[in-house]
Structure 1
Amino acid sequence: MCGTDQVPEPGDEVVDTTDAVFTSLLEDSVEELYEQAPCGYLSTLMDGTIAKINATLLDWLGLERSQVVGRMRFADLLTVGGKLYHETHFAPLLQMKGEVSGIVLDIKAAGKQRMPVLVTSKVKTSDDGEPMLIRTTVFDARDRRAYEAELLRGRKAAEEARRQSEADRLRLQEALAVLQQSLLPTELPAVPGLEASSHYHTASPDLLGGDFYDLFPLDSGRWAFFLGDVCGKGPQAAAVTSLARYTLRAAALHNADPITVLATLNTVLHERYASGEGRYCTAIFGVLESDEGHVRVHLASGGHPSALIHRADGSADYLPTPGGLLIGVLPQAPFTAAHTDLLPGDTLLLYTDGLTEARTGPDRELYGEDALRTFTAAQTPAGPQALITALSGLLASFGDGLDDDTALLALGVPASLPTPASEDLT
């Protein structure tokens, strides 16, 4: 046997002391585990008086056992705020439910330091269900509190970054809106014997669009107008838009023939961007000339959707300009001209393809030119402003189906002007 020099003979009675030693060690281990546990333990009477407390919690508190057992209540170990919470929430809840777990409180630790702890308490009852004492486990929550503080700082930093990003985005949107407005006329000029109205719908406040339009005088009896759409978005498209606008105005003042004006723009765009990434646009350019009660219209198109005429009798139809090529693609490009007369009550509508290429319905089908003609014919002929108002409402109704900028320009003759007795319209 271990611990003796004697070897048992056969038939001798052997006394096994393993169970006794294990029981002794277990009893020592249980007591040591209670006293030196990584968390605090204490038992209190039902009034909160501390009846038992382990060494770990005493060490946190910086107190001797004789100062605590039978002399202090659990609430006396807490800070003022913790004590108030214990009396108003913790203790009543424990009395009602018999158990409370995972409550964060602050105890008065050694050196008058505030120590966050995680507290779980359970009421021990007698066999007949009478409450006898309260057993409480106290966990050190300093690491958790530090983690929560760091997490909170991280959340605050993320929220501040989000707010800063949103503020930067708003500033960018404001700058883009100002730049977008600089590419459009501030307001349309008043033209004798003519009404004019326009609308610009921005699909995204975060991107510069490439749609443009203008109306300006050529001489005492003629006015020029144009509307176009630069392919692409962003600063590059804005640069092309600016170049196109000023080229069209300058070319018109030199020679206002619509085909000649578009040919000049084609030459400028092709030469400017031939050596790099190609830039091109579509456009309609036209000239208005008043002639005793009606307005003659002479226009040309370069790859742009045909103008739509809303007549005084309520009918609506397109002014065909087939065959016009995109402006800036080739060194020389063919453009198509067309003529018409606007009588009192007639309105000429120019638009960019953001309108007809809007997606509608559950299948997100293209709105299309036929639908636009039908919509226009359904409107009461009341002049450019009324038509633009109706169309701006239509654009708004597309919602997220409208994913491209849209420019509208309507020019019309007031219905109050007398209609000539005989007029051969073309």
Structure 2
Amino acid sequence: MTATPDSSADLADYLDTAPLAFVAVRAEDHTVVYANAAARRLFPRPIVGSPLGSLVEAADQPVLAALIAAAPPADDDVPAVPATVRLLTASGPIGADLTANRGLDATVRIAAVVSTVDRIRDRALTDALSARSATAAALTRSRDALVESERARASEHLQGAQIRSLATVLQRTLLPPVLASPPGMETAAYYHHASPDEVGGDFYDVFPLDGQAWGFFLGDVSGKGAGAAAVTSLTRYTLRAAAVFDRDPISVLQNLNAVLLPEFRGDDPRFCTVVYGTVVPSADGVVVDLAGGGHPPPVHVRGDGSARYVDDLLGGQLVGGLPTPHFTSHRLVLSPGDVLLLYSDGVTEARVGGGRYDDDGDLLTYVADSAPTTAADLVDHVTALVDGFGDGLQDDAALLALGVPRAASSDH
């Protein structure tokens, strides 16, 4: 989608108003030197100046120390290794997934994604949505920062590599630290970050709903920068929360639309496109129920070597822009050897030879050439295509593939 300028002031404002908890610790002694508003709300006492280890259960302190020791530089291509710990929050011990990156200022920056199993299941969806006013205030501050940062660009303190470092840290918090796989299935994903100085708006996730059913999604928020990052965080966690309380994919998108619609008006409208789905094992394979909101249709690659677009998802309208949008749905079965590929429009709208890459269905032809395939091989195949676009790839590009291995038995 279209890009908007980003800046250090913009990113710094988002960091303090982000829905995720961020802390920075001194590398040598692990003392907390910074905590954003979300982190400060988690704990019953002020945490700046406290040892980070005092904020987690004793049994998890070695895990935390290992996470900090292994933290890669924020501008490194090596992904941060995640760790799961129990945080000693104001409401009791709560599970959280942590990622860490080493900054340029002798600090280690840590992002925490609080477990949706621990928190979302303990409250109704309406209670979660009642916090929308606070989220709206944070988003308004982010939008205001976009304007103010342009005026203050000449006097910003964070420059060059520091901006890229912060943008990289924020970007990694908007994607799952580890991509999960439903039992009996294989998943693979790829994210191309178009600009090291901006936080992009593409997102994806795969997560369990119960003992058998799993949810997944891939989408794209309009714009870039702090505004897009705030919307991306809100979108990801709203999707996961809505999926817990209503399995129908259309209802999940309707709930997301209800959350986004009141928030993004005026001079900085925000909306997203998304494909959301569930997978449930059956005697015939894996049953996939999909809903589409203005997003390019997935590709179903069959084990017999054929491939097709899931055209029934065409016609769905974007999420967050209309009071009563029309969303589309489709059910399919993935048999052993089948793969479902989701992608963002950064792939299909790459500029090639004076036009868009996918004006004539080029992606389907390219994917079909690799069939039959696996989820990992298909993502590698399309990644090679994306890398070959060079300067023609002007937007972020995300890929998510879910496949059923040929060796999988019918009851998985």
Specify the alignment match of 1:348 in structure 2: 340
Asked whether the 8 Å contact 2:181–2:206 carries over to 1, the reply is no
Kept in 2, the 8 Å contact 1:197–1:385? The answer is yes
Q: Percent identity?
A: 48
CA contact (8 A) 1:356 1:369 kept: no
CA–CA separation in structure 1 for the residues paired with 2:360 and 2:400: 16
Q: Aligned partner of 2:327: which letter?
A: F
Seen in structure 2, the aligned counterparts of structure 1 residues 167 and 261 have a Cα distance that, compared at 3 Å, is: closer
Q: 1:268 aligns with which of 246, 259, 263?
A: 259
Determine helix, strand or coil for the equivalent of 1:279. coil
**Cα separation, 2, equivalents of 1:276 and 1:254:** 33
Change beyond 3 A, Cα 1:287–1:419: closer
**Which of structures 1 and 2 has the bigger CA Rg?**
1
CA-CA distance at 1:338 after TM superposition: 0.5
Pick closer, same or farther for the CA change 1:204–1:305 going to 2, 3 Å: same
1:273 partner SS: coil
Cα distance in 2 between the residues matched to 1:170 and 1:393: 27
The separation in 2 between residues aligned to 1:368 and 1:342, in whole angstroms, is 28
Structure 2 counterpart of 1:195? 186
Residue 236 of structure 1, CA deviation: 0.4
Matched with 1:286 is 277
Aligned residue-pair number: 256
Question: In the superposition, relative to structure 1, how do residues 419 and 222 fare at CA in structure 2: closer, same or farther (>3 Å)?
Answer: closer
Give the superposition deviation at 1:277: 3.0
SS of equivalent to 1:171: helix
Q: CA deviation at 1:367?
A: 3.2
1:223 Cα deviation from its structure 2 partner: 0.2
2:103 is matched with: none
Structure 2: distance between partners of 1:272 and 1:281:
12
> Partner of 1:354: helix, strand, or coil?
helix
Cα contact 2:307–2:371 (8 A) shared by 1: no
After superposition, the Cα gap between the structure-2 partners of 1:251 and 1:311, relative to the gap in structure 1 and judged at 3 Å, is same
What does residue 294 of structure 2 align with? Answer: 303
Q: Secondary structure at the match of 1:299?
A: strand
The 8 Å contact of residues 299 and 341 in structure 2, kept in 1 or not, is answered as: yes
- SS of structure 2 residue aligned to 1:400: helix
Q: Find the counterpart in structure 2 of residue 330 from structure 1.
A: 322
1:248 is matched by which residue type in structure 2?
L
Change (3 A) 1:368 1:199: farther
Matched, 1:247 2:252: no
In the TM superposition, what is the alpha-carbon distance from 1:365 to its structure 2 partner? Answer: 4.0
Distance 1:288 1:242 in 2: 23
The TM-score with structure 2 as length reference comes to: 0.60
* 1:216 aligned counterpart, secondary structure: strand
One-letter identity of the residue aligned with 1:330: L
Relative to structure 1, the CA distance from residue 193 to residue 419 in structure 2 (aligned partners, 3 Å threshold; closer, same or farther) is closer
Q: Which amino acid aligns with 2:233?
A: S
Match of 2:406 in 1: 415
Q: Secondary structure at the match of 2:289?
A: strand
> How far off is 1:315 after superposition?
0.9
Query: Is the counterpart of residue 181 in structure 1 residue 172 in structure 2?
Result: yes
Deviates more, 1:245-254 or 1:328-337: 328-337
When residues 369 and 355 of structure 1 are mapped into structure 2, their CA distance, relative to the original with a 3 A threshold, is farther
Unaligned ranges ≥5, structure 2 = 1-155
* Deviation (angstroms), 1:168: 3.0
* Unaligned runs of at least 5 residues, structure 1: 1-164, 421-426
Q: What is the RMSD computed on CA atoms of the aligned residues?
A: 2.1
Normalization by structure 1: what TM-score?
0.58
Q: Give the drift of 1:240.
A: 0.6
How far the C-alpha of 1:175 sits from its partner, in A, is 1.2
TM-aligned CA deviation for residue 167 of structure 1: 8.9
Q: Distance in 1 between the 2:326 and 2:228 partners? A: 23
CA distance in structure 2 between the partners assigned to 1:267 and 1:365 by the alignment: 33
* Aligned-partner Cα distance in 1 for 2:248–2:231: 22
Q: Distance in 1 between matches of 2:275 and 2:322?
A: 18
Render the CA deviation track for 1:98-152: whole Å, top value 9, x for unaligned.
Answer: xxxxxxxxxxxxxxxxxxxxxxxxxxxxxxxxxxxxxxxxxxxxxxxxxxxxxxx
Tell me the CA shift for residue 171 of structure 1: 1.8
Give the distance between the partners of 2:302 and 2:268, measured in 1 at CA. Answer: 42
